[in-house]
Amino acid sequence: MTETQSQLMQRLAANTRVGYSFDQEFYCSDAVFKADMDTIISRKWLLAGHISRIPNKGDYFLFRVGAEQIIVIRENDDSVRAFFNVCRHRGSTICQADSGNAPRLVCPYHAWTFGLDGKLLSARLMPEDFDKAENSLFACHIRLFHGLIFINMSEDEPVDFDATFGDMGPILDYHGFDTARIAHAGSYPTTANWKLVVENFFECYHCVPSHPEFCSMHAAESIVAVGAGPSSGPADAIASFTPKLQAWEASAAAAGRPIGNIDDAPDSSHLRLMMQRMNKDGWSSETQDGSAPAPLMGKRTKADGGRMHLSFSPFSQIVADDHFAILFQFTPRSALETDVEMIWIVDGRAGEDEVDIPKMTWGYHATTTQDKVITENNQTGIMSTRYRPGRYSDQEGSVIKFQKWYLNQFGLERAE
């Protein structure tokens, strides 16, 4: 008898324990990846990009998730649309280039032509009873939020965007994302399951042995206590770090920064996170020498020496300091493939000659290149017949929370 998707996930959940990594199938199985797509990935608001990528009418880019391709296109000054890249005739993709400009969306196969609103404008030699109004492109849910473009592939009404993310508005406004611009983009495709990519990002236990550049930019005590978020480290390290953090928060608030943390529970819809903290002493920015690579971002009138890690979901992250921000996109493509993209953002008023791109990208380019190798090696080892779930350290609390959240999406729990 063929195992149903529900039976598969129930069996796997029953074989897991809190404090241990997942069973092999979670990271390798095509059937589990399909369950992930059906139950989690297609139902979440995913960060697709920044509005500055499509400034003009007809500008578009493709956002790929699993086997899906989503056309994100500017309809006009007031509207950005998203459509599945599937012609309503016989299913050909309409846009083949990763990005471009299209006054109309024309299928290259049989020349069916769609407007930027997705409506079918022309289809040659169709029968008299053919109804163009019933053959618009399939729309994808889309929201613009402080210059950030989010899509949701749910066939039903998705979770309410404003209710889910509205409380993040003040800090995004302060950073000036709405009027920012893209300075640089990097792609780090990773031959590993998306859960391994996320778990690696959600812990800093590996930072000291694996990331010399990252560690050079951060105080050792902050890496241990809150290196991957407000509850990622040991309790005693967090308690020791908290008074210093509170002192910086008071200073940053006086300078105008909205202060506050977000640390969603495993039963939340998106497992959001926001952690703000001070940079290493003497460091004004996360660069090799601590100096600023670009002008101040957003509404700042002076630097407060802080940095922010904001997580909209396990798939969509932001790391930002006073002078630049990085959008992290962890996009599942298959059971063993994840697109890892980074987009460096600077203030929209910053001139080209005011932004030192090599300085700005030095730390996180190195770190993410290392993470690609680390995670691919992790995936290779998990494929072995000798892999067994391993015990987590006291510095991997956020990974445990992520795994509880993951199972909660299926209505499941793991053994205590």
pLDDT in tens, 91-117: 999 999 999 999 999 999 999 999 999
Dump pLDDT digits (tens) for 241-272. 888 889 989 999 999 999 999 999 999 999 99
CA dihedral for 39, 44, 49, 55, sign (positive or negative): positive
364: pLDDT strictly greater than 80: yes
174: pLDDT strictly greater than 90: yes
229: pLDDT strictly greater than 80: no
Distance of alpha carbon 68 from alpha carbon 263, whole angstroms: 31
DSSP 302-319: S---EEEEEEEETTEEEE
Angle at 48 between CA 304 and CA 300, to 5 degrees: 15
**CB proximity list for 45: less than 8 A, separation 6 or greater:** 143, 150, 151, 152, 158, 159, 161, 164, 165, 270, 312, 313, 316
Predicted pLDDT of residue 46: 98
230: pLDDT strictly greater than 90: no
In terms of pLDDT, which residue wins out, 203 or 222? Answer: 203
* Segment 331-342 mean pLDDT: 98
Dump pLDDT digits (tens) for 274-325. 999 989 888 899 999 999 999 999 999 999 999 999 999 999 999 999 999 9
Which of these, 66, 155, 82, 91, lies nearest to 118 by C-alpha position? Answer: 82
Two tokens, residue 166: 């509205």
For residues 46 and 331, the answer to whether their CB atoms sit within 8 Å is yes
Two tokens, residue 192: 């590993």
Q: What percent of the chain has pLDDT over 70?
A: 99
16: β partners: none
Predicted confidence band at 416 (pLDDT cuts at 50, 70, 90)?
low
Domains and CATH numbers, the chain: 46-158 (2.102.10.10), 166-409 (3.90.380.10)
220: pLDDT strictly greater than 90: no
